[in-house]
Amino acid sequence: MNRMLARALCATTALASGLLISSVALAQSSGTAAVEELVVTGSRGPADLSGVIVAERDPKSRASISEEFIQRQVPGQTILQSLNLMPGVNFTNNDAFGSAGGDITIRGFDSQRVALLWDGVPLNDSGNYAIYPNQQLDSDLIERATVNLGTTDVDSPTAAAAGGTINYVTRKASDEFGVRGELAFGSNNYQRYYGTLETGAVGPWGTKAWISGLYTTNEIFTPHDAQKDAPGKIKKWQVNGRIDQDFGDIGSASLIANYNENRNNFINRVNLTQFNQRSLPVYNDSCIPALPAPGPGAQIDVCPSFVGVNINPSNTGNLRGLSSWNLSDNLILTVDPSFQYTLANGGGSAVFAETDAQLRGNTASPGVDLNGDGDLLDRVTLYRPNTTNTRRYGVTSSLIWKFADTQSVRLAYTYDKAKHRQTGDVGFVDREGNPENVFAGKDGQGEQVLLPDGTNLRRRDRASVAELNQVALEYRGRFMEERLLLNVGVRAPFFKRELNNFCYQQNTFDAFCTTQVGTPIPGTDDGTGRPLVTFPQSALNSNAANRYGNPREWTLKYDDVLPNVGVSYDFTDDLTVFASYAETLSAPRTDDLYDRVLVDPGPEKAQAYDLGVRYQTSQFMAAASVWYNQFSNRIERVFDEQAGIAFSSNVGDVKLQGFDGQVGWQPTEYLSAYASFSYVDSEIQDDIPGSTSSPVPIPTKGKSLYETPKTQGAVRVTFDPIESVSLGVQGKFVGDRWSNLTNTEKFPGYTLWDLDARWKLDKFGMEGTYLQANVTNLFDERYLGDMVTNLTGNGQAQPGYRRTFILTLHAEF
């Protein structure tokens, strides 16, 4: 019996479901899917054990989960939380439901250095590379999710992936007509209403489609030992749709659409002292704006730390196409176009005196009557967010030539252009202190605060274009009776940022938007040969902070050639060893470049080495790898205290090394177990140099990266005691994490346990219907999650969510 046939027969007798699932489900784009499919045709496809561990075939460190596991988690949960049991991955969720955000690290790289892809489309913010977990596709619509640990695929459409990639894949439309729905209720007045309509194959061409809607809401959880209930709510609604068309031997195409709206109040962060003292403050739930009253007395608004302006509204949407075309028997063309839209901000407010210099501009006017009482004596609260509006266009394409049964060559091209508008248009608040419009005075949204010089009051005003042109070449082949897999590729990204700042820049996030002409400060340079400037004192900009860079426009380019090599050898049908080497690049973020002093810190780069082994059968799977990463030119914020200037700088190299391992065992059809463990050792190679005015270096040499647990691990056990009942319990251990780069403060580690139980109602004549109960943070652990870190000072973190109960009714017809 030849080896290929033996693999196929083994697959057909496996206990685990999904053994013959196509590798298309694992790939990040149509091009990568087609290449992987060509080379492994006929061999055993990716098996999975209860969906929590999936057999991998690529010669690199990769881990995946399937929908079987995803749907056992809290329904509607962000996909990043479902990845949290994977080796090397640590996600800290800001609430139990996946609607409040969070942060993810992979092998010591934070979220801004990890690329998040959805059907191969990049989702990181085009400006600062941030990942927004609460804006992801509903979990019921996700077929599979894959993490490349420390590496990218050769056609990865990103300029940010120094630390690896995450890609999740949308569920395909069904061949049969059907309706799928869920109702869920839980702690913190959690409510979820979800439904999907499947058309089945319709029309003369057998077109398939689905359309889906979702609405969730919950109140903010109360932190442990808080003096009062936490005010605020979280609301989310989402609409999705997909159309799949098969053209037979010609090819296939899909069109996928998504629109998502979030209306969130923030959860107050705390420092370590507050956490240890069990003093966890919450935002104030009321505001007392002064009633407009003309006369000699001044009105002063009193709205400290008001929850109504500490919000995170977002409107996001995207349209994606996936297509693969057979130009001949051995030539395939794939084209995946996309469009994305974002409108979002992070809230904020400020109290303005009606005679503030910024309100007067370059006119002789004494000020602006903000509250309409006929005088200029008052101090008035205004809603003052930083709003980002992005329109992003992209396409990922591949031309694949299969010149032998087990060999192919691919030429790939990626285009990604994001028009990124960042404004801080100020708006008004109502009589309760809430914003009249969550996007303030943004053009086309709320009422603007108009000034005597004809402009409107703004916090910042800048426009940028991020453009990526990337070409890649990849060879993939199998040799030695298909036991040896060789994958050799190279990608060449050509990345450009066009930047335009229309205001005087104060720091990375704040500007002084005025028609006044600033007074030059002798002996200074804003990086363009012009001196920094100062303005008449303003309530918002005083003392040493009253220094600004001039409005400017400039263009920066970052190009590189990045090899990507992997090799694996199958000693048996079950035992494989692999090794890989990849180079990655992360261009500076927009926020690294918009600053008081113009600097170009250059790109971050990484060289990633992996050596691993896999043992994969129908009942037992194990994978382990040792890895080393040389991370160069890490960009951090550096503060020059004497000059009062913060700027971005390359602070040196970082070496990371570690071990990842995971194992899954399914001894019977009714019992399965999983465990993972990771060890990360990071070391900063140099002290951060001092500045001209503050020459003492920051002592970071030999220190570890912040936010990265040295050890972490996870376990899960699934048990089906009877045919209609299934139980699951899982735990995640996270070690201590430094909160700064000088390693003077450490946040404690923690362990979280979750429980899930499902009762199928088939025997009552309701096939496809079940009740599912989820309990998260089962033992009500006190812990600190999503962190805000510093170079030298103390950090803050999100207090962890409390024990939470969710009950879901799932029905299919």
CB contact at 8 A, 20 and 40? no
Residue 44 to residue 22: CA distance in whole angstroms = 9
Instruction: Kindly indicate the confidence band of residue 693, based on its pLDDT and cuts at 50, 70 and 90.
Output: low
Residue from 57, 44, 39, 40 nearest 13 by CA: 44
- Pull the structure tokens for residue 562: 């990045």
Task: List C-alpha distances in Å: 372 to 100, 288, 289, 465, 603.
Answer: 36, 17, 13, 39, 50
pLDDT of residue 346: 92
Predicted confidence (pLDDT) per residue in 138-192, tens digit: 999 999 999 999 877 777 788 777 788 999 999 999 999 999 999 999 999 999 9
Helix (H, G, I), strand (E, B) or coil at 53: strand
Query: DSSP labels for 233-272?
Result: EEEEEEEEEEEEEE-TTSEEEEEEEEEEEEEEBPPPPEEH
- Pull the structure tokens for residue 239: 């609409």
Percentage of residues in the chain having pLDDT higher than 70: 91
Predicted confidence (pLDDT) per residue in 32-59, tens digit: 776 666 555 434 444 889 999 999 988 9
Number of domains in the chain: 1
Residue 328 to residue 364: CA distance in whole angstroms = 74
Instruction: Kindly indicate the confidence band of residue 26, based on its pLDDT and cuts at 50, 70 and 90.
Output: very low
- Domain range for 630 is 3-812
Q: Is the dihedral of CA 606, 607, 612, 616 positive or negative?
A: positive
Predicted confidence (pLDDT) per residue in 70-81, tens digit: 999 999 999 999
Give me the residue label for tokens 């030999």: 702
Give residue 210's region: left, alpha or beta (phi > 0; psi -120 to 50). beta
Residue 405 neighbours by CB distance under 10 Å: 14
pLDDT of residue 621: 96
Residue 676 to residue 654: CA distance in whole angstroms = 25
Give residue 768's region: left, alpha or beta (phi > 0; psi -120 to 50). left
How many whole angstroms from its chain centre is CA 581?
A: 25
Residue 22 to residue 736: CA distance in whole angstroms = 40
Instruction: Report the pLDDT averaged over residues 626-645.
Output: 72
Residue 61 to residue 592: CA distance in whole angstroms = 31
Predicted confidence (pLDDT) per residue in 564-583, tens digit: 999 999 999 999 999 999 99
- Pull the structure tokens for residue 15: 């206990």
Strands (E) across 669-710 are located at: 671-684
∠ Cα 57 61 65 (to 5°): 70
User: What single-letter DSSP state applies at residue 704?
Assistant: P
Spatial CB neighbours of 776, under 8 Å, sequence gap ≥ 6: 74, 96, 752, 754, 801, 803, 804, 806
pLDDT of residue 24: 37
Residue from 664, 673, 665, 770 nearest 723 by CA: 770
Residue 267 to residue 169: CA distance in whole angstroms = 30
Residue 328 neighbours by CB distance under 10 Å: 8
Residue 656 burial by CB count (10 A; 0-12/13-18/19+): exposed, middle or buried? Answer: buried
CB contact at 8 A, 213 and 226? no
Residue 721 to residue 723: CA distance in whole angstroms = 7
Residue from 524, 535, 533, 507 nearest 594 by CA: 507
Query: DSSP labels for 91-136?
Result: EEESSSSS-S-EEEEETTB-GGGSEEEETTEE-S-TTT----GGGS
3-state secondary structure 474-523: EEEEEECCCCEEEEEEEEEEEEEEEEEECCEECCCCCEECCCCCCEECCC
Predicted confidence (pLDDT) per residue in 317-372, tens digit: 999 999 999 999 999 999 999 999 999 999 999 999 999 888 988 888 899 999 98
Residue 376 neighbours by CB distance under 10 Å: 17
Q: Is the dihedral of CA 18, 19, 22, 26 positive or negative?
A: positive
Note the maximum CA span of the chain: 99
- Pull the structure tokens for residue 168: 């999740």
User: What single-letter DSSP state applies at residue 452?
Assistant: T
∠ Cα 721 723 724 (to 5°): 100
Predicted confidence (pLDDT) per residue in 751-766, tens digit: 999 999 999 999 888 8
3-state secondary structure 339-360: EEEEEEECCCEEEEECCCHHHH
pLDDT of residue 213: 98
- CATH label of the domain that carries residue 515: 2.40.170.20
Residue 503 burial by CB count (10 A; 0-12/13-18/19+): exposed, middle or buried? Answer: buried
pLDDT of residue 2: 40
Count of helices and strands (H, E) across the chain: 7, 45
Q: Is the pLDDT of residue 12 over 60?
A: no
Predicted confidence (pLDDT) per residue in 483-509, tens digit: 999 999 999 999 999 999 999 988 777
Instruction: Kindly indicate the confidence band of residue 648, based on its pLDDT and cuts at 50, 70 and 90.
Output: low
Residue from 602, 565, 598 nearest 586 by CA: 602
pLDDT of residue 647: 57
What is the rounded average pLDDT for all residues in the chain? Answer: 88
Residue 628 to residue 106: CA distance in whole angstroms = 13
pLDDT of residue 445: 93
Q: Is the pLDDT of residue 60 over 60?
A: yes
Predicted confidence (pLDDT) per residue in 229-273, tens digit: 789 999 999 999 999 999 999 999 999 999 999 999 999 889 999
Q: Which residues of 73-101 are buried (b: 16+ CB within 10 A; e: fewer)?
A: bbbbbbbbbbbbbbbbbbbbbbbbbbbbb
Predicted confidence (pLDDT) per residue in 703-737, tens digit: 998 889 999 999 999 999 999 999 999 999 999 99
pLDDT of residue 163: 80
Residue 802 to residue 612: CA distance in whole angstroms = 38
CB contact at 8 A, 39 and 477? yes
Residue from 332, 330, 609, 564 nearest 470 by CA: 564
Spatial CB neighbours of 88, under 8 Å, sequence gap ≥ 6: 61, 63, 106, 107, 147, 149, 150, 658, 660, 678, 680
Q: Is the pLDDT of residue 539 over 60?
A: no
Instruction: Report the pLDDT averaged over residues 115-119.
Output: 92
Helix (H, G, I), strand (E, B) or coil at 16: coil
pTM of the model: 0.91
In single-letter form, the type of residue at position 455 comes to T
Query: DSSP labels for 632-674?
Result: ES-EEEEEETTTTEEEEEE---EEEEEEEEEEEEEEETTEEEE
Q: Is the dihedral of CA 65, 68, 69, 73 positive or negative?
A: positive
pLDDT of residue 694: 62
Dihedral through CA 127, CA 132, CA 137, CA 139, nearest 10?
150
Decide which of 695 and 465 is more confident. Answer: 465
Task: List C-alpha distances in Å: 149 to 33, 200, 604, 626.
Answer: 18, 37, 17, 11
